[in-house]
Structure 1
Amino acid sequence: MAQLSDDCFAFGGDLMPVHAALDLLRSRVAPVTAAETVPLADALGRVLAEDVVAPFDVPPHDNSAVDGYAVFFDDLQADGETVLPVTGRVAAGHLLGREGRRGEAVRIFTGAPMPAGFDTVLMQEDCRPIKDANDGDSVAIPAGIKRGANRRKAGEDVTRGSVVLATGRRLRPEDVGLAASLGRKELSVRRPLRAAVFSTGDEVREPGQELPQGCIYDANRFALIAALRQLGCAVTDLGILPDRLEAITEALERAAAEHDVLITSGGMSTGEEDHVKAAVEALGALHFWRLAIKPGRPVALGQVRDAVFVGLPGNPVAVMVTFLRIARPILLRLMGAEESEPRLFPVKAAFAYKKKAGRREYVRARLARGEDGALTAVKHPRDGAGVLSSLVESDGLVELPEDLSRLEPGMTVEFLPLSEVR
């Protein structure tokens, strides 16, 4: 008697390993977006289309890191207090108007340019101001300061002629700030990737509609649209398509004419009502279809006319996991981003787990401190591919490689924080 399988990933045929799929997409996907110039304030999250080169040093001059007194280090006593007359004052944005002179101190404030000659700054908290009988100002300076203390040198941040932001960088707030420090008011960036998204399934309903028995609300499409917009894509929502081959084929063909990438959820399996795969093959080609991944597996990369096609599974958690680990690298490469792979971090597992050898699995987990103070990954108690709340309640994903079949508590695992893929 044949043994029935309780593994929903068990139907026949070879599955492509995740690493092989990622290698394939790197070889077949090239940036498709043109460049445009945008104001600096609109550049956040965009991908640079050209290097940003420093036209001058930042800072452009030596300056003080603190409020205090600028002096010549060689004027200071090595073994006792030094008293120097205070002969000038220089604030940020202003010059002293002359070079420094030996045997004097100058009152200086944070960010103010260092007068030529002075090489050391004493913090005002460490000094003792003195008023003499003629209302002249002096300052008593304690021993022990190092030569060059509290002096920021020209070019300490950025050197003239250096590439400070390279082509392909996806701009973060600090990148925008650095560009501003170089006087840039505009940047050349890739135009937004045009993405079309739709769901399939006669059982799927729009949020807000009446929900007949046997139907579900469409969580997948809204999660994907949010994830795409977070990446900076210009998204077209094509709604929910019925489970009819001709309707799906027509929608794909229309969308391919106006978009760079088409993304679907559902309809990629082998059931009689799963028509997306057949529609894609009728209009173009599939480069890979079934992956050795859980949750997921029916994941496709293909082409519909001139548009890239990404087909994701139907279960909500499987949709998000495969989007983050498969679709996201494709999209970033299409956008021209220099780096598409997120960083994973080693942590200790706080749970036991058995898995099928030969496939990569992603386990939802939260981070907690172990008895030794180190971070550990605690598995979410519910692991169904349809339990979207488990992803909401997790900090990230434990990535278990193909060659692992059993995980024991205390073993080191790779952890992908969800914050790394936002």
Structure 2
Amino acid sequence: MPRRKKRSWGGCSIEEHRGRFYVRYRENGKRKYLPESYTNKLEAERRADALAADLRNARHESARDEPVECELTLGELGDEWIKTRKDFETDASRWNKHLKPYFGHLKPQDVDEDLLRDFIREKSAATGEDGLSGPTVGRCIHLLSSLYRRLFKNRKRTGVTVNPVALLDKEDRDLFRSEHDPKKTPFIKTWADVRRILDSFEDGPTKVMFAVGVYTGLRPGELRGLHWENVHLDQDRPFIYVCQQVYRSKLKNETKGRRTREVPIQADLRPMLQAWRLQTGGQGPVFRPVSKRGGRPGAPPQFIQEHTMWRHLEVALTACKHPPVTWYEATKHTFASHYLMNGGRIERLATTLGHTDTEVTRRYGHLRVDLFPDEEFNAVCMNRPNTWPNGTASGTNGRTLAEHQSNSSATNEQKTVEIP
């Protein structure tokens, strides 16, 4: 038996009795009727909608708590909240250096949009250690917004009823908007350059790491935390199960977006990984540090450090005389750009890269005019016949839409006649 649909709060209905329409509603669990009646059903429905809105507003007003005056300052609340952040060290640094000295002595209700504007302008105009770039100011504002979202959830204790960051308008947000254009991010433009850079690497784990990164789009932390148990080379369609990453020299059983994914292994990458599996034994981490230096006292290093990856990439770029690019640009950006330029779907690319939104993925697709194939660059061709509905304008071949349609119908008739 299907479950009965739950009646929405403040719902009203229309009843007809002897040619008159009455509005029925519920209040405090009791069924009631409005005293007036209507001869037109449309008027009764309009009155019912207005009554339903009044009932919902009355419910919200009655459920609204009395204003609470918080005795704690924003600094005390922020110190308690910052410990729960995932990226504790980075967020704690921004909180202690910039936000807490400016807002920490105030009560949560005393921070408004005017005070936020003063903070943005002072930090943007300051120089030296007190000055911040636009993106850094934006990260501080976003961190403060996260704090107020938490305080709003606990408004019975904090008394916060509004997030002041949400009151900033577009002009205020433009003050800390980044001027960097992601479409201008450098990457390796041709696959021949990718192979030249790969051949310029010294034989070792960093060479295989670069190959896996540029053929799969894995993040540096995901490459460092990759284990053989998650590399399925013997399948008909080999793939890598991405579920771990190295973050701050610790292996975490989650990715950046906290979502696992399966990334296909390209045909050119498969023999290299098979040879590397035979060389390393195929157990434990895929990439182990070669040097015994590093690590902690009494324990050898467990993961290859990112600065080691960057140093080996820099040597390879210098050897093949390629312009400098970072590891992220040479692997993830290059993989995404060539994927889209070769006709791949952006939705599938977002899943492969581990993005939750395709808008983030578009930053990795360098859809520049000089990199378009000829057939896509000439997709908008003025020499094609005009297909406007009125059929009056013509293309350079001189035929109108009506002539094309008549020619098409004649061809169809000819085909129809030829069928025995």
Larger C-alpha radius of gyration, 1 or 2? Answer: 2
Q: TM-score, normalised by structure 2?
A: 0.21
Q: TM-score, normalised by structure 1?
A: 0.21
Structure with the bigger percentage of strand: 1
Structure with the bigger percentage of helix: 2
